[in-house]
Amino acid sequence: MTMHCRQMTPALGAEITGVDITDLDNQTFDAIYESFNKHSVVVIRDQHLTPEQHVAFSRRFGKLMIHVLKDELLEEHPEIYKLSNVVKDGKAQGRPNAGQYWHSDLTYEETPSKGSVMHALEVPESGGDTMFSHTAAAYEGLSDAMKAFLEEKTAIHEFRHAYEKFTKRIPGTVPIPEEAFAARPPVEHPVIRTHPETGRKCLFVNPGFTVRIKELSFDESDAVLEHLYRHMTKPQYFYRHSWQTRDVVLWDNRSLMHCAVGDYAPEQRRHMHRTTIMDSDAV
């Protein structure tokens, strides 16, 4: 097979064909990694992965993180977080309604994530897309005055924020135990981060986990964040992925945020496995 890469939008996204990620030589993997850095979202169709193969491919990008919600992890492979509305023998097979708000994975961690690798095992007949927004392109679209204003600012991120503001309002959401929130207290990260591999500056705030900008009053912070979120989700910074069964999608959490679209009927099954890669270069 010969690898081909097709750019999906001017700002972000690429589709790679002609590869089997369970059997990659170093040269082909390096080409995928280069696309990951350049395009931030990489779509690889029709990949038949076992959990072991999913974990092995993900580890080629770096050390894997273990999600704080232990009940949603795959038995024998805790690196895999299950996102699913499937119920089998009366037991949920993963976390339903996950990520139905704009966020970047695990920014509430002291060491945030480098990227995520999602494998689609079952997808709805229609709906259930994932939207991505490029935070480097969005930063570059800001005025020089706003860029200067945001320099040296820090933001507080907290795991609890997304649940209280978004998730618990969705019908069918499973409550998160208090011990999970206690295990992830608030952390601080720069509002602007420089991507360690591309050198591009990126906005590093998101509606899901960013509570406020530390140096501003609450009212000022709310106003600035609201402006940034509107700006970050403009169509020119945007890619919407329509899932197919056996898709593998990898995305760069250092340079984008994303949102799962909960527009499918409850009887439509959506079952995904996700790994998350630690950002060893995080500052």
Pairing of strands 271-278, 113-122: antiparallel
Please tell me which residue in 39, 67, 95, 105 is annotated as part of the active site. 105
Identify whether 77 is a catalytic site residue: no
Identify whether 105 is a catalytic site residue: yes
Identify whether 161 is a catalytic site residue: no
Distance (Å, rounded) from C-alpha 70 to C-alpha 73?
5
Identify whether 231 is a catalytic site residue: no
Please tell me which residue in 103, 160, 161, 195 is annotated as part of the active site. 103
Please tell me which residue in 160, 189, 258, 270 is annotated as part of the active site. 258
Query: Which residues are the active-site residues?
Result: 103, 105, 258, 274
